[in-house]
Structure 1
Amino acid sequence: MSDTMQSTAPAKRLSGATAVLDNDDQTIAPPTPTTATSPRFDLDVAKADKELKNAEAARGRFDDVTQTEAAPGSDYVPPKLSQGRKWALLSILSLAMFIDVLGYSAFFVLTESIARDLHVLYEQSSWVITSYSVTFAAFLLFWGRVSDLYSATIVFVGGFTGLGLLSLIISFLKDKYSFFVIRALAGIAGSALIPSSYRLITRIFEPQELTLAFTVYGLSGAISNMCGTIIAGVLMINHGHGQLAAWRWFFRLLTVIILPASVASYILIPRYPGSESGDVRVAKWRKLDLPGALMMCAGIVLIILGLTLGASYGWKKAGFLAPFLLSWPLFIGFFLWENYLGDQALLPPKTWRIPNFTVLIILALEVYAWWGINFLPLTEYFITVANESAILAATRSLPEGIIALFVTILLGAVPVLVSRPKWTITVGLLLGATGYVLMAQPHTYVGTEYWRWIFPAMIIGSGGNAAIFSAVNVAVMVSSPPEMAGVTGAVLQVALQVGVAVAFGVQAGLLTTNPGGLSNVDNIHASFYFQVGWVVVWLIGFVVLFRPGKAPATDPEAAVPIA
């Protein structure tokens, strides 16, 4: 398939001439003169007209449903991409997901080293991760709206380049305050990648290809989840000091990966305009809904800040109570404001009318939390309590990544499992709860107890959770109208990020229930049993509230089955 521009003009009836449709490149040959008295004239015109309409209808199906729509009043005609170029672009977009997850999984191993080198107090060490995640979550909706209104291509390339340059700067920082500030800026740049990727995928691929495309996109997250701790563990083998510290080389490695990929994305990704790039009736900056974006950003920052400070300093301290309580009026005000604005809102009210969207977004709160709640305490237990090396601790967590990778590949090979997700998600939740029940049994997490309880728990639970992640990711995006892909993808990511932040906050309190912290396995058991209860609540809610049906496509009368 060539990358030539395709015409979207409607077929017009020929007069006094015949047209021939070339079946190979679908172009119109020059008209052949004929006479009005030719006995074949009417037949030739009718046949050519029918062929033209069939060809344009086929093209129209591609344009209308694969999200290559031009904006009102725009003359933009989307390019016809070859399969090779489509998958090359998907590999670049998937790399963004890989980098995002890598920034979390690797820090389960690197946090202690960073805290030691930058003189970060133990109660502040969570900010090594949170300084990135709080701004990442806060700006997702804003970048989703920008991607929908302007150009997802520009948002993606700019965010990728910014993340690469900021990672290089971080690798040379010498104090904790500059580290936290630049990490926060990196979170803003990183948050631009995910909603713009969702938007671009819906424009690059045809509707019948979207399920596989989003499954592969999710696969990159599973691979990164598996590789993150291993990469960090390998870097930690060489205990360098100063500017040669392992964590500094991690950020330099990110730069080496990201900057060439950002150049490739600038060259290869078409300059898709926003869905309203030609609409001059309302200034686009007003459609960005800056007041709504500010309220949502502030609300997310405050709630994550409150949970983090509460976990570090106590739940009765002003550091928790003030930001946590202030966040709720902002969230309430945000949704009232969005309802007032209607379709011009940052998060239009019609978003919640997408079939099963609300149920799937609430369920997404559990997904990242499932991995984080066992990754963090177990990795710290292996390193600080069992006195194992970072690479051995990372290897112990490897089964979770391997099974997640296997399950995601399986779902890609059998797409019906994610295109109709009810039973896939239900079984996944049951497996996830089972995994945590097993994790809460051992009296130690190394030796024979690891192989008896933890290894099978990782296989069973992580496999189920990977199925949930793929099914939710595909169901949300395939069921969403194309012009809202950036916003819906952003909402999904906000749910994933806020869910894990809340889970970490709750777990931090449970890990201090009994004296001894991580060295007292009863504390770890308490946090794991909490996760069992959380998963069971999600399971009951999903089974009761999920409604198999059809979701709207680009055309309101069209539908895409999602259950």
Structure 2
Amino acid sequence: MEPEMGALALKDANGRKEEGTICKTSQDAFEVQRRDEEAVQGLDTSSPPGPSRARLIALVLTCTGAAFMNTLGVQAAVIVLPTIGTALDIPDSRQQWIVSAYSLTFGCFLLLWGRLADVYGKRLIFIWGSAWVTATTIALPFIPNEIGFDIFRGLQGLGAAANVPTAIGILGTTFPPGQAKNYAFACYGAGAPLGSIFGNLLGGVVAQWVNWQWIFWILGILAGIITIAGYVIIPLPPVSSTVGTKASIDWIGGTLITLGLLALLFALTEGNVVGWSTPWISVLIVLSIALVAVFVAWQWYLETKTTRRPLMKVSIWKNVRFSAAMLIMALFFAAFNNYLIFATYFYQQYLGLSVIQTTLRFIPTGVMGIMVAFITAQLLSRVRGSFILMFGTLSVGIACLLFAVPIHPNTTYWAYGFPAMCLAVFGADTVYPSLTLFTAHSLPQEDQALGGALINAVGQVGRAIGLAISTAAELAVVAQRKGESIEVVGNSHIAPRDVALLDGLRVAEWVNFGLAIAAFAIVLYAFRGSEKLGQKG
């Protein structure tokens, strides 16, 4: 044990004697003297106080708002597609572009925006992306024709591609591992599924009682609030954090992956409309695969043969669990989103319910989703990640199964519709936060926004491929039952209570069930014995 020291006589800047502190060890005495000397030199090396709890909560809500707004806008637009189509004189076969134009630009520019955020500053990209979303969203109701409307929807998605992944990067660099980070990512992870759910509610209410333009005005107001909140709440980065980094942007890689994803998502979007045998669909798919392959080769070259920084390090995919997490995200995102879409089709197209009647059936998902988000934050540091992911993927699988099995359509909603809605949100609000938190832990601080972009891009590609497969299966069954071609069925209106339509919807849900179970199987293989995802720091 070190000897105790007596009172130390220390001098201040003016040479006056002061009584020092009674130090228990020589190390403590040295620390007092060092701080006193630094004070004499006018230096202050003490750490600045961290953000207050209220500011951190506001920061989490602001970042979550970006994810919430993204899916809220998509799903609300889906609900009012026929209304917008009638107002702008858009044929049924082209109404999907109101949604697809947004999804295309959002999915294609995620990786590039993610890298730009890591280089130029996450706060800057988040604010400008949110401001861009605000401006384009408010302008949309004033666009008088189909082409202009689709263009502005694409521009809207471009802004969302900037602020959604950047929000993940901001949370990843702000919170150290621990319970606070678990809550932050649980909240953010719940934003996307809750946005889809409340998008149904918003679309239904607006379609029932006010003009469709109010959807975009409401979204514009929310986006404006997020923009202002981001400017006020997100802390400024250190001045030196972006110095000398501008040359590290891989513009060649950004162009290759953006064009590759654009070709792929465009082909998948149009395939069920014009027919998969259409020559240019096959050309686009082959072209997209080639561009992505060249992108991967270019990234490998930059990482292994040069000192230049690639857009995405290929080496991160050597981590089996990281690669598995991305594949789980693609499969799960497809299953969950397809469940919402085909459940909507079942209530509106087959049962012939009104928009507001359909909306009422989705209310349990919103209520349960908020509750599950808080529970998940506690589970992340207490339960193994494999158990959480198994529960989530299996829950969504069962939700799809309840709409796939031949339950009589007149069966009460409470017997299978209500349990399915609850199970779907149980899955979404446990899997999304878990995978997002895992991605944040897997990448270094300087790649946090890119990680957010990557997991969102993988989800978008999975969603597009899954929806294309499910829709193709549905149309094939309906065409077979009705004895017509797929092209004719895809461009025709089917009356409610048509048995062929019911069979097609059930087959689509079987596909969705398969996607969820595939995700479940990957969890069993890759995450067996995994640690808790939200370990306390």
Q: TM-score, normalised by structure 2?
A: 0.84
Confirm whether residue 224 of structure 1 aligns to residue 195 of structure 2. Answer: yes
Map 1:341-360 onto structure 2 (within 5 A).
341-342=302-303, 344-353=309-318, 356-360=321-325
Confirm whether residue 483 of structure 1 aligns to residue 446 of structure 2. Answer: yes
Q: Please give the secondary structure, in 2, of the residue aligned with 1:206.
A: coil
Confirm whether residue 455 of structure 1 aligns to residue 418 of structure 2. Answer: yes
Deviation of 1:191 after TM superposition, in Å, equals 0.8
Corresponding position of 1:373: 338
AA at the equivalent of 2:390: T
Q: Matches of 1:50 and 1:359 in 2, distance apart?
A: 49
Q: Select 1:152's aligned residue among 100, 116, 122.
A: 122
Q: Select 1:292's aligned residue among 253, 261, 277.
A: 253
AA at the equivalent of 1:486: A
Q: Matches of 1:412 and 1:162 in 2, distance apart?
A: 32
Confirm whether residue 301 of structure 1 aligns to residue 266 of structure 2. Answer: no
Q: Please give the secondary structure, in 2, of the residue aligned with 1:448.
A: coil
AA at the equivalent of 2:201: I
Q: Matches of 1:53 and 1:429 in 2, distance apart?
A: 56
Structure 1 segments of 4+ aligned residues over 6 angstroms from their partners: 29-32, 38-45, 51-54
Corresponding position of 2:290: 329
Map 1:368-447 onto structure 2 (within 5 A).
368-416=333-381, 420-442=384-406, 445=409, 447=410
Q: Select 1:266's aligned residue among 231, 254, 272.
A: 231
Q: Please give the secondary structure, in 2, of the residue aligned with 1:272.
A: coil
Confirm whether residue 233 of structure 1 aligns to residue 191 of structure 2. Answer: no
Q: Please give the secondary structure, in 1, of the residue aligned with 2:142.
A: coil
Q: Matches of 2:415 and 2:22 in 1, distance apart?
A: 82
Confirm whether residue 87 of structure 1 aligns to residue 57 of structure 2. Answer: yes
Runs (5+) with no aligned partner, structure 2: 1-7, 36-44, 483-488
Corresponding position of 1:524: 505
Distance 1:549 1:18, change over 3 A: farther
The C-alpha deviation readout for 1:504-527, integer Å capped at 9, x for no partner, is 111221121223667421101111
Q: Please give the secondary structure, in 2, of the residue aligned with 1:345.
A: coil
Decide which moves more: 78-87 or 319-328.
78-87
Q: Please give the secondary structure, in 2, of the residue aligned with 1:388.
A: coil
AA at the equivalent of 1:341: L
Question: Number of aligned pairs?
Answer: 496
Distance 1:268 1:434, change over 3 A: closer
Q: Matches of 2:326 and 2:340 in 1, distance apart?
A: 23
Distance 1:155 1:40, change over 3 A: closer
Q: Matches of 1:319 and 1:52 in 2, distance apart?
A: 76
Q: Please give the secondary structure, in 2, of the residue aligned with 1:271.
A: coil
Q: Matches of 2:29 and 2:322 in 1, distance apart?
A: 45
Distance 1:261 1:536, change over 3 A: closer
Corresponding position of 1:26: none
Q: Matches of 2:88 and 2:33 in 1, distance apart?
A: 68
Q: Select 1:277's aligned residue among 242, 256, 263.
A: 242
Coordinate RMSD, CA, aligned: 3.1
Q: Matches of 1:350 and 1:273 in 2, distance apart?
A: 29
Q: Matches of 2:359 and 2:385 in 1, distance apart?
A: 32
Deviation of 1:198 after TM superposition, in Å, equals 1.3
Corresponding position of 1:493: 456
Decide which moves more: 180-189 or 315-324.
315-324
Deviation of 1:183 after TM superposition, in Å, equals 0.8
Corresponding position of 1:63: none
Map 1:30-179 onto structure 2 (within 5 A).
46-50=27-31, 80-179=50-149
Corresponding position of 2:156: 186
AA at the equivalent of 1:540: A
Corresponding position of 2:186: 215
Q: Matches of 1:105 and 1:540 in 2, distance apart?
A: 29
Q: Select 2:272's aligned residue among 277, 287, 311.
A: 311
Structure holding more helix per residue: 2
AA at the equivalent of 2:376: L
Q: Please give the secondary structure, in 2, of the residue aligned with 1:344.
A: coil
Q: Matches of 2:298 and 2:279 in 1, distance apart?
A: 29
CA contact (8 A) 2:129 2:162 kept: yes
Q: Matches of 2:367 and 2:22 in 1, distance apart?
A: 66
Corresponding position of 2:169: 199
Distance 1:232 1:31, change over 3 A: farther
Q: Please give the secondary structure, in 1, of the residue aligned with 2:50.
A: coil
Deviation of 1:309 after TM superposition, in Å, equals 1.0
CA contact (8 A) 2:253 2:311 kept: yes
Q: Matches of 1:39 and 1:86 in 2, distance apart?
A: 38
Q: Matches of 2:29 and 2:51 in 1, distance apart?
A: 26
Deviation of 1:139 after TM superposition, in Å, equals 0.9
Distance 1:31 1:127, change over 3 A: farther
Q: Please give the secondary structure, in 1, of the residue aligned with 2:475.
A: coil
AA at the equivalent of 1:286: A
